[in-house]
Amino acid sequence: MADMKTAAYICKGCGIGERVDTAQMAKIATKEGKMHLVREHDFLCSAAGVQTIADDIEKEGVTHAVIAACSRRAKTEAFYFPSVALARANIREGVIWARPDTEEARETTQEMADDYLRMGCGELKKMKLPAGNPDTGHAKRLLVVGGGVSGLTAALEASKTGYQVVLVEKSAKLGGWSAGLYRRMPFREPYAEPQDTGMDELIKAVTGDANIKVITNAVIARTDGAPGRFKVDISVESGPSLTEEVGAIIQATGFSTYDIAKLPELGGGKSANVIDQVTLEKLATEAAGKGQPIRRPSDGGEVKTVVFVQCAGQRDESGKHLAYCSGFCCGASIKQAMYFKDANPAIDTVVIYDDLRVPGNGEDFYRSAQRKGVTFTKGKVSSVVPQGNACEVKFRDLILDEDAAIAAADLVVLATGQVPNSGVNIDIPEEEVAKMEVKPVSILNLTYRQGKDLPQLTQGFTDSHFICFPYETRRTGIYSAGPVRRPMDMVQAAEDATGATLKAIQAIENAELGRAAHPRSGDLSYPIVQLEGCTQCKRCTVECPFGAIDEDEKRYPVFNESRCRRCGTCMGACPVRVISFENYSCDTVGAQIKAVDMPDEFSEKPRILVLACENDAYPALDMAGMEKNCYSAFVRVIPVRCLGSVNTIWITDALNAGFDGIMMMGCKHGDDYQCHFVKGSELAAYRMSKVDDTLKQLSLEAERVVSCEVAITDIARVPQLINDYAAKINEIGMSPLKGFA
Amino acid sequence: MAEVVATNQTILVVGGGISGMTAAIEAAECGKQVLLVEKSPTLGGRTALLYRYFPKLCHPTCGLEINLRRIKSNRNIRVLTLAEVSAISGKRGAYSATVKIAPRYVNENCTACGACAEAVSAEVLNPYNYGMNKMKAAYLPHAMAYPQRYVLDASLIGTPDADKAKASCKYGAIDLEMQEETIEIKAGAVVWATGWQPYDAAKIQPYGYDRFANVITSLEFERLADPHGPTGGKILRPSDGKEAKNIAFIQCAGSRDENHLRHCSRICCMASLKQTQYVKEAWGAEAKSTVYYIDIRAIDRFEDFYQKVQKDPTVSFLKSKVAKVTQDKSGDVILHGVDTEGYHRYANAHDLAVLAIGMQPSVAGVDIPAEIVADSSGFIESSAADSGFFGAGCATNALDVNRAVQSSTAAALRAIQVINKLARAEA
């Protein structure tokens, strides 16, 4: 690193100059930090201060700069120097605002500031300016799997944006379930009548679009590669297989209907007159084609009474059927009830529901049905018993709180739910799959080491776990849209597909530039592995939350950088520390740990290392500072990309350096996990459970290393956690390892 | 001040809540130039003022942190705060927007050190806590505020406090001479993401929001539970500061009602279910939440959460549209109505009543082009094929956060289509 030129800038503004001795810090930066250039400034984020740094970069050839001022979360516009490696030492939120402004606190506060600068200098010298992933892909086409309303919309929207599309549909015809509807629910005002589905026009638009290559009767035989360079083998029924290169994939494989034969108590499979909503659509279309009313399937008799049973096989708490609500079925039954009422107002049309769920303007549609004379009964259907050409529908009337019955319904429509077509559940172990009667069929046939299909969130849906980020699948560049992601109706599916198309296009553009996708969007660093040291332990390939790492035939890891989200979980997993990022590595953090000035065991000044998730715990600490919620001066905080990136070497390093305690602060894990890298905090907790052995070997107490879940709102709790832990360390005493480093 | 370069390749996003931020970020991360215009002094919108999200009970500020980081690291996005679009003219590919920028009285030099807030003594009602407490008239909107820059309330100008604020600032950040500015912005496409506002609770006369201190809205309740809120996160009722342990949640307050909002606001059932868990978090087994509802609309996998809450012994459900609320001398609120499951009349006393208030689109008051169609409730409908103007988020429909983000992502793509077509035509 002959051409590395380092500089430290120490800001005196916002009270830093009054609270700590910046001249002393400058000396530390020069002598201990070995910075080539050290400057103090009264107001570093001012135009003049920023210019000073810019001038040094340009004229002095500074390549690495540490800014000792406010938090890395503040003044990001001012301190934007993309051409140099940059470290920030948090002297404002992390030191002077987190400490009382008293004479007695002065010494320890100064020690904190000095250490953060030492740490910044240490980190800086181990950093490199990220150059961007060189393994970029340039395929700009999109693959859309599924030719229903979601897939068709995705294809058309991509084409409108100027991208080419390969659309693969399993069946012979485009249109999916939507094409089989007689009418759809209204999607704009007045929300009063069923509407034409518009599917003919949509299909025509897609088939007539020169940007869209439609392949029907086809499935995906193999998907290999990464965003920007997927290679997809498409096997076509009665035809030669094709291989297409695409940049991103939208999975719009929709749903299957829940089999009503599984609902014999509701007459499912026991009578031709007990049907599901899809079958009613077919009957309605056929009847309309003949210009006749909908007839009773069993004998073609007149329908005088029709009953809609909501939540059939849904919202089920017994574990036998679907546990969820499919959301669209109340609206669909309202629409179907109108088919009858519009044809003949004398038809007795009853919807039996528990909670009628028509959000938004669906309420107008509901009112319209009430005006047409559809009867809505709050109740729970207990049985549907076919008797000849009629069915007896027994139910508990929940308003009158009594048992009731409809003696002779000509037609009973079960509002069953959507079952996602999501392929193989990769979380089910192979042994268990082997025992299954019906083997799941993969949709994408990914060659990924972690499995053939998108990971499922719950109930088979490939939804994102994140409220704020509905499109975040765990496979970069592959987005799901429509009812495979979450149960939904046509209008939502089209909207969803449009959003997913943007994400797919974004993935293509990111891959081409070699930068990361959400949540570290734009990050140019990427994992670099030194295979010489690799022991083929496979931890990185197993633990990567995004399935970015495959294995070659010798079981060495193969990194697919454009699938990677830069969380560093692989780096944390690696027992031989051969994985690193240019600006974030075992060395950059290790150097910070080792840079801390360690008081001796008689000083009564313990040192506590805090490794804090940069997205939640670190901002919480910042905000604690902003609100002047003070905490112990004995802590030294290092932000980490994710607790999953914490390598146990840091723990060993810290203990050997004489740290008396280590706190790991990460996001909540478990079912409602909040880790943005899915399982980072969970992995960290697991790894730390193994640290106990290390502690024992070193004859240290188990409490020397603790993990805690911290949320971004814990502005009052975090200081308390720190102070409690500092008291605890005080109780168990200073580390016996001090002074042996 | 505001030197804003925008061309017909720029996407103008109006509204800096989660929908507008999402549209802006997603478009910018596709390489497009975006101008994000927000009327208040900070991004984040209404979700920044929520304590937790349903159904995970995670914190909205966690996602906000990520989105802010994406904005900070993306040079394609420029943000104008305290800025309102007052008119738009032109057509797809060539819009011109008039943007009024209100004076902040604080310039880019601000370091957010807080000296001005310490220097002034005047206080104003804190809009970030829905006016439930006061804040200094020189303020940072909230701890997650972006830009992280103070604001002087206009009421301070011309008072001695203003001079004190100015004198306290070492960085020349306070500019008392700042005036409202009007600028013209060019844009090829516009995403309208102005979000929603709560229905005016005082209009629901029988519920007495305007008469009883202990009848509050669901949004105000979020602030009571939030550690940054007026009570520091303690659930205390407004009239006397008593610990509110027995709480009524009144569903469809303003929604599903032809006298108020015809539509169902979609989020309120889940929001109340979520809030019952705040009560439990605060008081444990002593908590008592009662949900008065018509239908519980826990749609799709939210059903899990509903089932979980139904099993919670601190929560009970009563199927009834509450007829009337009164308040007794002790400050307790009494809910009157008929339990429709079995037709029993009730008059139930609670420490506090929370109105699950309906959602109204915030689209009023702007001279927007005729090509934008709103339905009779004010929600923006999908645009005509030749339009370059797209609604996003709760300006288009009553949506939860997840769906608002989905809608905004879709709107961003539609805006990109306009820009790309233009670029192809000009190439």
Q: What percent of chain A is predicted at pLDDT more than 90?
A: 92
Stretch A620-626: mean pLDDT: 97
d(CA A249, CA A231): 11
CB contact under 8 A, B60 and A468: yes
Write phi, then psi, for A233 (nearest 5 degrees): -90, 125
Q: Do domains B10-102+180-195+362-426 and B200-358 have the same CATH topology?
A: yes
- Position A690 confidence tier, pLDDT thresholds 50, 70, 90: confident
Q: What is the pLDDT of residues B127-166, one digit of tens each?
A: 999 999 999 999 999 999 999 999 999 999 999 999 999 9
Count CB pairs under 8 A between chains A and B.
Answer: 236
Estimate the crossing angle of helix B401-426 against helix B18-28, to 10 degrees. 40
Residue appearing with tokens 């399993």: A170
For residue A133, the model assigns a pLDDT of: 82
A165-216 pLDDT tens trace? 999 999 999 999 999 999 999 999 999 999 999 999 999 999 999 999 999 9
Q: Within 10 Å of residue A162's Cβ, how many Cβ atoms? A: 16
Q: Cα angle at B61 between B57 and B65, to 5 degrees? A: 135
pLDDT value at residue B364: 63
| Angle at A624 (CA atoms; ends A620, A625), nearest 5 degrees | 120
pLDDT band at A1 (very low <50, low <70, confident <90, very high): very low
Query: Could you give the angle at the alpha carbon of A114 between the alpha carbons of A108 and A116, nearest 5°?
Result: 105
Residue A242 CB: number of other CB atoms within 10 A? 16
Question: Vertex B206, ends B200 and B212: CA angle to 5°?
Answer: 75
Within 10 A of A208 (CB to CB), how many other CB atoms are there? Answer: 8
How far is CA A730 from its chain centroid? Answer: 40
pLDDT of residue B1: 44
DSSP β-bridge partners for residue A215: A168
pLDDT digits (tens, 9 = 90+) for A207-260: 999 999 999 999 999 999 999 999 999 999 999 999 999 999 999 999 999 999
Which residue reads 């975040």 in tokens? A472
Say what the pTM is. Answer: 0.97
Nearest CA to CA, how far is B302 from chain A (Å)?
Answer: 8
Q: CB of A258 within 8 A of CB of A414?
A: no
User: pLDDT 10s digit of each residue in chain B, 427 long?
Assistant: 456 778 999 999 999 999 999 999 999 999 999 999 999 999 999 999 999 999 999 999 999 999 999 999 999 999 999 999 989 999 999 999 999 999 999 999 999 999 999 999 999 999 999 999 999 999 999 999 999 999 999 999 999 999 999 999 999 999 999 999 999 999 999 999 999 999 999 999 999 999 999 999 999 999 999 999 999 999 999 999 999 999 999 999 999 999 999 999 999 999 999 999 999 999 999 999 999 999 999 999 899 999 999 999 999 999 999 999 999 999 999 999 999 988 899 999 999 999 999 999 987 666 676 777 888 999 998 777 789 999 999 999 999 999 999 999 999 999 999 999 998 888 7
What strands lie across the sheet with A402-409, from one edge to the other?
A: A274-276, A411-414, A305-309, A348-353, A375-387, A390-397, A402-409
Contact A621, A615 (CB under 8 A): no
Mean pLDDT score of chain A? 96
DSSP string, A428-460: S-HHHHHH-SS----SS-B--TT-SSPPP-BTT
Phi, psi for residue B214 in degrees, rounded to 5: -95, 15
Q: How far is A646 from chain B (nearest CA, A)?
A: 20
Which element (helix H / strand E) includes B15? Answer: none
Q: Find the helix or strand (DSSP H, E) in which A381 lies.
A: strand A375-387
Q: If DSSP codes are grouped into helix, strand and coil, which group holds residue B302? A: helix
Radius of gyration of chain B (CA): 23
Q: How confident is the model at residue A688 (pLDDT cuts 50, 70, 90)?
A: confident
* Best CA proximity match to A584, nearest among A516, A532, A656: A516
Give contacts of A518 with chain B, Cβ < 8 Å: 29, 66, 70
Between chains, do B375 and A362 touch, taking CB under 8 Å as contact?
Answer: no
Predicted local confidence at residue B343, as pLDDT: 85
Q: Could you tell me which chain A residue has the CA closest to the CA of B77?
A: A77
Whether residue B33 contacts residue B10, with contact meaning beta carbons closer than 8 Å, is answered with yes
Partner residue facing B227 (CB), from A188, A503, A715: A715
Burial class (CB in 10 A: 0-12, 13-18, 19+), A724: exposed
Distance (Å, whole) CA A23 – CA A17: 9
Give A432's pLDDT tier (boundaries 50, 70, 90).
very high
Please tell me the class of the B10-102+180-195+362-426 domain.
alpha beta
Which among B112, B376, B406 has CB closest to A470? B406
DSSP β-bridge partners for residue A406: A393
pLDDT given at position A739: 73
> In terms of Cα–Cα distance, which of A1, A100, A246, A285 is closest to A719?
A100
Mean pLDDT of A35-64: 98
- Rounded CA-CA distance A177/A163 in Å is 26
Kindly determine whether residue A619 and residue B381, on different chains, have CB atoms separated by under 8 Å. no
SS3 content of chain B, % helix, strand, coil (to 5): 30, 25, 45
Contacts of B391 in chain A (CB under 8 A): none
State the Cα–Cα distance between residues B207 and A639, nearest whole angstrom: 49
d(CA A442, CA A146): 14
**Which residues in A lie closer than 8 A to residue B296 (C-beta atoms)?**
355
Rounded CA gap, B221 and B236, in Å?
Answer: 10
Question: With contact defined as beta carbons under 8 Å apart, do B61 and B165 qualify?
Answer: no
Of A362, A459, A498, the CB nearest to B413: A498
Q: What is the pLDDT confidence band of residue A151, given thresholds at 50, 70 and 90?
A: very high
C-alpha dihedral, B353 to B355 to B356 to B361, nearest 10°:
-160
Which sign does the torsion angle of CA B190, B191, B194, B199 carry? positive
Question: Residue A330: which residues within 8 A CB-CB, separation 6 or more?
Answer: A310, A353, A356, A357, A358, A362, A415
Q: Touching check for B13 and chain A: CB below 8 Å? A: no
Whether B109 has its CB under 8 Å from any CB of chain A: the answer is yes
Instruction: Name residue A244's beta-bridge partners.
Output: A232
Residue A147: helix, strand or coil by DSSP?
coil
In contact, A35 and A8? CB cutoff 8 Å: yes
Which of A73, A324, A714 lies closest to B300 in CB terms? A324
Question: Which of A42, A67, A160, A355 would you mutate first to test chain B, the one with the most B CBs within 10 A?
Answer: A355
β-bridge pairing A390-397 and A402-409? antiparallel
Q: Rounded to whole angstroms, what are the CA distances from B92 to A409, A731, B17, B86, B187? A: 55, 70, 24, 18, 9
Count helices and strands (H / E) in chain B: 8, 22
Please compute the mean of the pLDDT values over residues A592-598 and round it to a whole number: 97
End-to-end CA separation in angstroms for chain A: 27
* Yes or no: domain B200-358 corresponds to CATH 3.50.50.60: yes
Average pLDDT over residues A131-146: 91
Q: Where are the domains of chain B?
A: 10-102+180-195+362-426, 115-168, 200-358
Nearest CA to A162 out of B8, B421, B34 is that of: B421
Domains observed in chain A: 1-129 (3.40.50), 142-254+421-513 (3.50.50.60), 258-415 (3.50.50.60)
pLDDT band for A94, please (50, 70, 90 cuts).
very high
Interface of B with A in 378-397 (CB under 8 A): 379, 381-382, 397
The β-bridge relationship of strands B33-37 and B134-136 is unpaired
User: In chain A, which among 62-121 make CB contacts under 8 A with chain B?
Assistant: 70, 73-77, 80
Q: Which has the closest alpha carbon to A381: A258, A265, A259?
A: A265
Q: Are A225 and A478 in contact (CB under 8 A)?
A: no
Question: What are the φ and ψ backbone dihedral angles of A493, each rounded to 5 degrees?
Answer: -65, -40
The residue-averaged pLDDT of A32-58 equals 98
User: What is the complex's ipTM, to 2 decimals?
Assistant: 0.97
Closest-CA distance of chain A to residue B104, Å: 18
DSSP classification of residue A175: S
CB burial string A383-414: b at 16+ within 10 A, e below: ebebeebbbbbbbebbeeeeeeebeebbbbbb
How far from chain centre, in Å, is Cα B426? 39
Query: Measured between alpha carbons, how far is A202 from A212 in angstroms, rounded to an integer?
Result: 13
- Residue listed under structure tokens 């931890």: A539
Give the pairing of strands B189-192 and B10-14.
Answer: parallel
Contact in structure between A509 and B416 (CB atoms under 8 Å): no
pLDDT tens profile A552-584: 999 999 999 999 999 999 999 999 999 999 999
The pLDDT of A611-632, averaged and rounded, is 97
Q: How far apart are CA A583 and CA A87, in angstroms?
A: 9
Within 8 A of B398 by CB-CB distance, chain A residues are 359-360
- B182 touching A (Cβ < 8 Å): no
User: Can you give the pLDDT at residue A2?
Assistant: 52
Amino acid at B117: A
What's the CA gap between B173 and A78, in Å, rounded? 15
